[in-house]
Amino acid sequence: MTDDRLRAAVATGVLASEDAHRALLQATVEVARAIFRAKASSVLLYDEVTDELVFEAVAGEGSETLVGERLPSSTGIGGWVLVTRQPIVLDDVSKDARFAEDAAKKTGYLPKGLMCVPLIHEEEPLGVLYVLDRPQEIRFSLEEMELLGLFGNQAAIALDLLRKARRARAVLDDAGTDAALLARVAENLEGLDGERRAAGVDLLRSLEALFS
Amino acid sequence: MAEPATERPLPAWSRPAGSTESLALPTEWPGRVTREWAWGGSTGKGVRVCILDSGIEAAHPLVGELAGAVAVEVGDDDEVSVVEDAEGDLCGHGTACAGIVRSLAPDCELFSVRVLGAGFTGSGTALLEGLRWAVDQGFHVINMSLSTTKSKFAGLLHEAADRAYFRRSVLVASAHNMPVESYPWRFSSVISVGSHEEREAETFFYNPSPPVEFFARGVDVEVAWLGGARARSTGNSFATPHMSGICALILGKHPELTPFQLKSALYLTATNVEGLGD
């Protein structure tokens, strides 16, 4: 195990949980939806194992059903944005257009317009952010595009944290490793308070002195 | 496709005494380069434009006939093959770009090179190999409304972009409108394009503060979309085919121009340089 993974495992066990990162991501899509006065907003994470995009957080239309649903990573608008790293905005899509079909089939909701931006962290695209059906009467501006990019940056950071938390969790769940043992001890200690915590800290200090 | 007559035997970087007459330009440039001189009367006829993108829906009313379509496939171990493409467009974006080029240069030849669909993991390789293939074919204009952030591809893309430049393939690439490093638009051998908010398709601005060199129409553009449909779209990726279309018009009238000369003509006819736009 590398030092990085060990540090990540222990730090994440102590400092944060996957639930907290998921809540941060959910808050991001909620705010994106509110700011753009849109019908829905969602974040999809790229799953490198299956080469697919997975809905991680959804606000508005589809929020009950979409989380966990998967789309291909290089077809459709989300796939295009992920692969090309270029944000895209579409409005007034004709009724008969083949458009966002995959997502539409899964939600029963066919948007008339969408904004989609890549979520890039340290040169790596982690996923995409969708904002569906902002008010059509408002002409889109480059200012809004910048705003969309800013949301994209925030969502990328949240998505990166979630991904790291999951990797760290995988390390923790691998009970056979020494790092997992240490991380579990750190995590359990964090859950204690009062005298038990003080006793635990004393014991760990003694162990530290013994091993140094 | 015919080889462009640009790669001459070496040496080409020095001139023996008395040989400078062979440096005469095939066309005399006017004292003042105007839009009328640059592309007045041109329809893009004779210019081969390649759309490196998600594929193109052939016979869309805003696109018309295609001169050809291929797909770049990436197999196991990054093995690449370029095959005839019958899939059309996997997203809609390539069709939108093709329609924009067609609207400006109605008689140009449009060719689709699909680099989407190989999965995300194969996408960098597909992009690079698609570009290399397009340069090999000698297309006059290659529209790349896309980019990669993977630095491992930067050197190879740079090499391909320079090769295009010296073979007289003009590479027109979308700039990123997010604060990330991406390629190939940052290379000086390409024509990099961002968006402005004006409504005229032929309005474009030279940017005196590169790396983005030109701004073209990229906000609220009516475009072709899948299923013979239309949509309104925004993004640098739609500004780029506007510049590609204008390049096709200029090359339709002045096929002898090198990418350097073409870029110079673009500079001199930019809305903020020429001003009046004739």
pLDDT digits (tens, 9 = 90+) for A106-143: 666 778 888 999 999 888 889 999 999 988 777 778 88
Q: From the CB of residue B206, how many other CB atoms can be counted at a distance below 10 Å?
A: 18
- In chain A, what residues touch B150 (CB-CB under 8 Å)? 123-124
Domain-located, residue A3 = no
pLDDT digits (tens, 9 = 90+) for B167-184: 999 999 999 877 778 899
pLDDT digits (tens, 9 = 90+) for B43-91: 999 999 999 999 999 889 999 999 999 999 998 788 999 999 999 998 8
Judge if A181 and A152 occupy the same domain.
no
User: Would you say B256 and B26 are in contact if contact means Cβ atoms under 8 Å apart?
Assistant: yes
Given a cut of 80, whether residue B8 has pLDDT beyond it is no
The alpha carbon of residue B13 is apart from the nearest alpha carbon of chain A, in Å, by: 37
Domain-located, residue B21 = no
Judge if A186 and A100 occupy the same domain.
no
According to the model, what pLDDT value does residue A14 have?
47
User: Would you say B113 and B134 are in contact if contact means Cβ atoms under 8 Å apart?
Assistant: yes
- In chain B, what residues touch A85 (CB-CB under 8 Å)? 146-149, 176, 178, 180, 182
Nearest CB to A87; choose among B148, B232, B235: B235
Best probe of the A interface among B131, B180, B181, B196, by most A CBs < 10 A, is B180
Burial class (CB in 10 A: 0-12, 13-18, 19+), A105: exposed
According to the model, what pLDDT value does residue B238 have?
96
User: Would the CB atoms of B92 and A98 count as touching at under 8 Å?
Assistant: yes
Nearest CB to A99; choose among B127, B145, B225: B225
Lookup: tokens for B98: 């093709």
Domain-located, residue B139 = yes
User: Would the CB atoms of A51 and B148 count as touching at under 8 Å?
Assistant: no
According to the model, what pLDDT value does residue B137 have?
97
* ipTM exceeds 0.90, yes or no: no
User: Would the CB atoms of A79 and B90 count as touching at under 8 Å?
Assistant: yes
Domain-located, residue B8 = no
> In Å, how far are B236, B242, B257 from B101, measured between CA atoms?
14, 6, 19
Q: How far apart are CA B234 and CA A145, in angstroms?
A: 9
Judge if A153 and A204 occupy the same domain.
no
User: Would the CB atoms of A51 and B121 count as touching at under 8 Å?
Assistant: yes
Size (chain B), residues: 278
User: Would you say B232 and A115 are in contact if contact means Cβ atoms under 8 Å apart?
Assistant: no
Q: At which of A148, A165, A182 does a domain end?
A: A165
Give the H/E segment covering residue B172: strand B170-174
Burial class (CB in 10 A: 0-12, 13-18, 19+), B134: buried
Domain-located, residue A29 = yes
Judge if A55 and A147 occupy the same domain.
yes
- In chain B, what residues touch A118 (CB-CB under 8 Å)? 178
Domain-located, residue A196 = yes
Judge if A143 and A201 occupy the same domain.
no
Question: What is the model's pTM?
Answer: 0.86
Boundaries of domain holding A80: 17-165
Which residues of chain A approach chain B closer than 8 Å at the C-beta? 46, 48, 51, 73-77, 79-80, 82-94, 96-99, 113, 117-118, 120, 123-125, 139-142, 145-146, 149, 152-153
Quote the number of domains for chain B: 1
User: Would the CB atoms of B180 and A120 count as touching at under 8 Å?
Assistant: yes
More confident residue, A111 or A9: A111
CB pairs under 8 A between A and B: 152
Judge if A33 and A108 occupy the same domain.
yes
CA B4 to chain centre: 17
Domain-located, residue A97 = yes
Given a cut of 50, whether residue B19 has pLDDT beyond it is yes
- In chain B, what residues touch A117 (CB-CB under 8 Å)? 178
Q: What is the mean pLDDT of chain A?
A: 82
Domain-located, residue B146 = yes
- Confidence band, pLDDT 50/70/90 cuts, at residue A9: low
Domain-located, residue B52 = yes
- Confidence band, pLDDT 50/70/90 cuts, at residue A144: confident
User: Would you say B218 and A87 are in contact if contact means Cβ atoms under 8 Å apart?
Assistant: no
Judge if A137 and A178 occupy the same domain.
no
Q: What is the mean pLDDT of chain B?
A: 90
∠ CA B61-B65-B69, nearest 5°, is 120
Q: How far apart are CA B219 and CA B234, in angstroms?
A: 4
User: Would the CB atoms of A125 and B149 count as touching at under 8 Å?
Assistant: yes
Judge if A159 and A61 occupy the same domain.
yes
pLDDT exceeding 70 applies to what percent of chain B?
Answer: 94
User: Would the CB atoms of B54 and A80 count as touching at under 8 Å?
Assistant: yes
Which residue in chain A is spatially nearest to B235 when comparing CA positions? A88
pLDDT digits (tens, 9 = 90+) for B172-230: 999 987 777 889 999 999 999 999 999 999 999 999 999 999 999 999 999 999 889 99
φ, ψ at B43 (rounded to 5°): -120, 5
Q: How far apart are CA B124 and CA B150, in angstroms?
A: 8
Judge if A181 and A135 occupy the same domain.
no
φ, ψ at B174 (rounded to 5°): -75, 130
Given a cut of 90, whether residue B240 has pLDDT beyond it is yes
Q: At which of A128, A147, A165 does a domain end?
A: A165
Domain-located, residue B15 = no
Judge if A28 and A115 occupy the same domain.
yes
Q: How far apart are CA B35 and CA B32, in angstroms?
A: 10
Nearest CB to B229; choose among A73, A97, A123: A97
Judge if A147 and A98 occupy the same domain.
yes
Residues 6+ apart with CB under 8 A from B70: B82, B83, B84, B85, B112, B113, B114, B133
Judge if A104 and A48 occupy the same domain.
yes
CATH number at residue B189: 3.40.50.200
Range of lowest pLDDT (A22-36, A90-104, B72-86): A90-104
Domain-located, residue A151 = yes
Nearest CB to A97; choose among B177, B225, B236: B225
Domain-located, residue B158 = yes
Boundaries of domain holding B215: 32-274
